[in-house]
Structure 1
Amino acid sequence: MSEQEFAVEAQGLSKRYGKMWALRDCSFQLPANRIIALVGVNGAGKSTLMSIISGMLSSTSGALLVKGRPVVKGGTVGADAGGRVAILAQDKPLYRDFSVSDMLKFGRATNRVWDQQRALSWLDRFNVPLDRRCGKLSGGQKAQVALAVALGSRPDVLLLDEPLANLDPVARSEVTGELLAETADSDMTVMLSTHIVAELSDVGDYLLLLDAGRPVLAGEIEQLLARHLRFTGPRADKPPIAGKILQAQHADRQSTFIVEVPDVAAAPAIVAPGWTAQPVSLDQLVVTTLKASNQARRNLEAAA
């Protein structure tokens, strides 16, 4: 994969606030034209990472590229030729006294690139009235207006920092479905930050999991799930197949392991007498990986 095929690339990216590191030595490459699920507990560095990608915040060290172009505070170098980024936070900033139509005019005036038809099409999908003042809109309608303005700027990368958190499950499903269609019909990459992991199974296709300011898991969600299996069988000190053990639980007569299998294709159909192998859910994978990361960090601190 060439450099230009990566939507976002971090090289030793770090951000420090005083003595506290929000991000530390982050390196990753995210594919373009995908929906990236950015996951992590509160304080993991998700919002800080998005702020650096958008150019709202400068890094302490390291480099970050969008579509192969370096990002500095204020935006992406050479963004006119590609690398445009739009960010939408949970508070969805709108001018209360502006009508929806006024917000689109504001979007046109403040963006070098603007697609009025794309913004109008998004609002039409969700029946948002153009003549209503933003202060009179419901929470769901405000989210649609903010998304319409973001999409109208035709970003190469759209960052969504939990902007759908106040929508009901049906509305979230409809919005994420439309975002999938937008991504498929354009060259746009969407990075969606959320703490509701279960909702990502049908939305995101690539996972970036942060813990304590560092990436601890990244890859195609489908491939990640295929490589992780849950083995249950008679009590034992190790699982019946070679691999990285993420979790081990033991009862009097039974053991359960969650294992990252190096080569799923080479794994035997029958693991061993008395053992069963089952797939893990995305929620299980995220929680198990975070627990393993926390334990490894505590072990390092204890040994220091």
Structure 2
Amino acid sequence: MALETDQLGKRYGDTWALRDCSLHLPEGRIAALVGPNGAGKTTLLHMAVGLLRPDAGAASVFGRSPYDDTAVLADIGFVAQDTPLYPDFTAAELITMGGKLNKVWDDALARTRLAQLGIPPDKPVGKLSGGQRAQVALALALAKRPRLLLLDEPVASLDPLARREFLQALMGSVADSGTTVLLSSHLLADLERVCDYLIVLNSAQVQLVGPVDDLVAEHCRLVGPRHDGEPIAGVAAIVRASHTDRQSTLLVRTDGPITDPAWTVHEVTLEDLILTYLAEGETQGSHEAWGVTA
């Protein structure tokens, strides 16, 4: 596993930023980490790179603790949400500095990538556009030749063209190196194009995790007569339900074929799936915050 957590938790005072977080990310995947603001995405990523110590549970990268075994950090590339770079340094100076700070460093990769993107090497990065700064940060992270690349909403503030260029650069590099990627974002259309693994995080807890194709295949939407809670053959769980006087619409997780002719089966999209689990997580979180039993 590239990244694995077991009942991972981080608390600030009486508030859990992340709680009972258990997930696994196999090597070679390009994974989407999805959740609303405040869901715990940044907290999870910061514990994965050893910037925060867990208050509960454990996180491991390639079987090693990033907080206690700092040698594993050489295998991790990280681009933080605000793409922090020394604003007075040029891209060329940052590449030179990276070579002095990292045992493994591909100077040519970073310089070639930025040249292909037309980013001036001698201009202070503080004077570059947001998209250009994001590309510099990505080039620096990739120059480490990391086995695991963590990206914390790197395209959130970029315009559509800059987002597309960033993701194209990312996909090209990953295809060449086989790097495992965990990309945090709330831009679902972008994630649907590039990711093959999904982690949905909401209300400080994991709501859904697994390969995208498998998750989409094992969910569907059922439309049929008003459902009052009786079991439906082939349905493992009802994720969300809406009702009228005579009809119910259910988004369900299946464990077999739906054979009851009373139900019409509709496929769901990845966006349908993500939004449903996010909505369900919000409902559960609100009940817990107010001490209400759902």
TM-score by length of 1: 0.87
| Post-superposition offset of 1:52 | 0.7
- Correspondence for 1:242 among 227, 234, 246: 234
2:130 is the counterpart of 1:139: yes
In structure 1, the residue matched to 2:275 is 287
Give, as a single letter, the amino acid of the residue that structure 1 aligns with 2:148. Answer: V
What SS does the corresponding residue of 2:65 show, helix, strand or coil? strand
User: How many residues are treated as equivalent by the alignment?
Assistant: 290
| Post-superposition offset of 1:142 | 1.0
In structure 2, the residue matched to 1:105 is 96
Give, as a single letter, the amino acid of the residue that structure 1 aligns with 2:121. Answer: L
Does the 8 A contact of 2:131 with 2:163 survive in 1?
Answer: no
Q: Distance in 2 between matches of 1:120 and 1:276?
A: 55
In structure 2, the residue matched to 1:7 is 2
- For structure 1, the 5+ residue unaligned runs are 1-5
| Post-superposition offset of 1:197 | 2.1
**How do 1:120-269 residues align onto structure 2 when only pairs under 5 Å count?**
120-237=111-228, 241-243=233-235, 244-263=237-256, 266-268=257-259
Residues 1:79 and 1:21: Cα distance change in structure 2 (over 3 Å) = same
- For structure 2, the 5+ residue unaligned runs are none
| Post-superposition offset of 1:194 | 0.8
| Post-superposition offset of 1:298 | 5.6
2:67 is the counterpart of 1:79: no
- Correspondence for 1:44 among 14, 39, 43: 39
What SS does the corresponding residue of 2:255 show, helix, strand or coil? coil
Deviations 1:63-83 (A, max 9, x none): 21111112216xx44328xx6
What SS does the corresponding residue of 1:225 show, helix, strand or coil? helix
| Post-superposition offset of 1:136 | 2.2
Give, as a single letter, the amino acid of the residue that structure 1 aligns with 2:292. Answer: A
In structure 2, the residue matched to 1:3 is none
| Post-superposition offset of 1:240 | 5.8
Does the 8 A contact of 1:33 with 1:186 survive in 2?
Answer: no
Q: Distance in 2 between matches of 1:53 and 1:42?
A: 19
In structure 2, the residue matched to 1:17 is 12
| Post-superposition offset of 1:230 | 1.0
Q: Distance in 2 between matches of 1:14 and 1:165?
A: 26
Q: Distance in 2 between matches of 1:253 and 1:61?
A: 47
2:267 is the counterpart of 1:272: no
Does the 8 A contact of 1:35 with 1:203 survive in 2?
Answer: yes
In structure 2, the residue matched to 1:55 is 50
Q: Distance in 2 between matches of 1:290 and 1:158?
A: 25
What SS does the corresponding residue of 1:131 show, helix, strand or coil? coil
Q: Distance in 2 between matches of 1:94 and 1:298?
A: 37
Q: Distance in 1 between matches of 2:293 and 2:240?
A: 21
Residues 1:13 and 1:236: Cα distance change in structure 2 (over 3 Å) = closer
**Percent identity between the two aligned chains:** 44
Does the 8 A contact of 1:33 with 1:183 survive in 2?
Answer: no
Does the 8 A contact of 1:24 with 1:213 survive in 2?
Answer: yes
Does the 8 A contact of 1:160 with 1:192 survive in 2?
Answer: yes
Deviations 1:11-64 (A, max 9, x none): 221111111111112221111121111111111111011111111111112221
| Post-superposition offset of 1:235 | 3.7
Q: Distance in 1 between matches of 2:245 and 2:178?
A: 54
| Post-superposition offset of 1:226 | 0.8
Give, as a single letter, the amino acid of the residue that structure 1 aligns with 2:241. Answer: A
Q: Distance in 1 between matches of 2:96 and 2:218?
A: 48
TM-score by length of 2: 0.90
Q: Distance in 2 between matches of 1:55 and 1:216?
A: 24
Give, as a single letter, the amino acid of the residue that structure 2 aligns with 1:260. Answer: R
Does the 8 A contact of 1:35 with 1:180 survive in 2?
Answer: no
What SS does the corresponding residue of 2:200 show, helix, strand or coil? strand
Q: Distance in 1 between matches of 2:245 and 2:77?
A: 54
